[in-house]
Amino acid sequence: MAKLLDPARLGEFGLIEALKHRARVAGHAWAEAIGDDAAILRPRKDHELALTADALVEGVHFRWETTDPRSLAHKTLAVNLSDLAAMGARPRGFLLSLALPPIAVPQRLDGFVAGLLGAARRFACPLVGGDIVSSPAWMFSVTAVGELPRGTALLRRGARPGDRVMLTGQVGGSALGLALLEAGAGRETGARPFVRRHLKPEPRLEAGQKLRRWGIARAALDVSDGVAQDLGHLARASGVGAELDIDRLPRPRGFGAACQKLGLEADDLALAGGEDFELLFAVPRKAPEASVFSKRLGCPVAEIGRIRGGRGVSLLRDGEPVTLARLGFDHFKPAAPSTDK
Ligand code: ADP
Ligand code: MG
Tell the residue nearest (CA) to atom 22 of ligand 1. Answer: 130
pLDDT at 305: 98
pLDDT at 2: 63
pLDDT at 65: 83
Euclidean distance between the first and the last CA atom of the chain, given in angstroms as a whole number: 38
- What interhelical angle do 255-262 and 173-182 show, nearest 10? 30
**Closest ligand 1 atom, CA of 33?**
14
| 3-class DSSP assignment, residue 256 | helix
Tell the residue nearest (CA) to atom 7 of ligand 1. Answer: 131
Residue 132 Cβ inside 6 Å of ligand 1? The answer reads yes
Asked if 48 and 150 touch (Cβ cutoff 8 Å), the reply is: yes
- Burial of 16 (C-beta count, 10 Å sphere; 0-12/13-18/19+): middle
**Closest ligand 1 atom, CA of 35?**
14
Residue 11 Cβ inside 6 Å of ligand 1? The answer reads no
332 backbone φψ class: left, alpha, beta (φ>0; ψ -120 to 50)? beta
Residues with CB under 5 Å of ion ligand 2 are 131
Asked if 227 and 167 touch (Cβ cutoff 8 Å), the reply is: yes
| Helix (H) or strand (E) segment spanning residue 96 | strand 90-100
pLDDT at 328: 43
C-alpha count within 13 angstroms, C-beta hemisphere, residue 284: 4
pLDDT lower than 70: segments of the chain: 1-2, 27-28, 325-341
Shortest-distance ligand to the CA of residue 131 = 1
Give me ligand 2 centre to Cα 201, in Å. 30
Query: CB neighbours (10 Å) of residue 184?
Result: 8
Residue 115 Cβ inside 6 Å of ligand 1? The answer reads no
Shortest-distance ligand to the CA of residue 129 = 1
Give me ligand 1 centre to Cα 35, in Å. 6
pLDDT at 125: 96
**For the chain, what is the radius of gyration of the CA atoms?**
21
Tell the residue nearest (CA) to atom 26 of ligand 1. Answer: 129
β-pair type (312-317, 241-245): parallel
Tell the residue nearest (CA) to atom 2 of ligand 1. Answer: 37
pLDDT at 96: 98
Give me ligand 1 centre to Cα 129, in Å. 6
Q: Tell which one of 30, 34, 41, 95 to mutate to probe ligand 1, the residue whose CB is within 8 A of the most ligand atoms.
A: 34
C-alpha count within 13 angstroms, C-beta hemisphere, residue 338: 8
Shortest-distance ligand to the CA of residue 130 = 1
Tell the residue nearest (CA) to atom 4 of ligand 1. Answer: 37
Domains annotated for the chain, with CATH where assigned, are: 11-149 (3.30.1330.10), 164-322 (3.90.650.10)
Residue 35 Cβ inside 6 Å of ligand 1? The answer reads yes
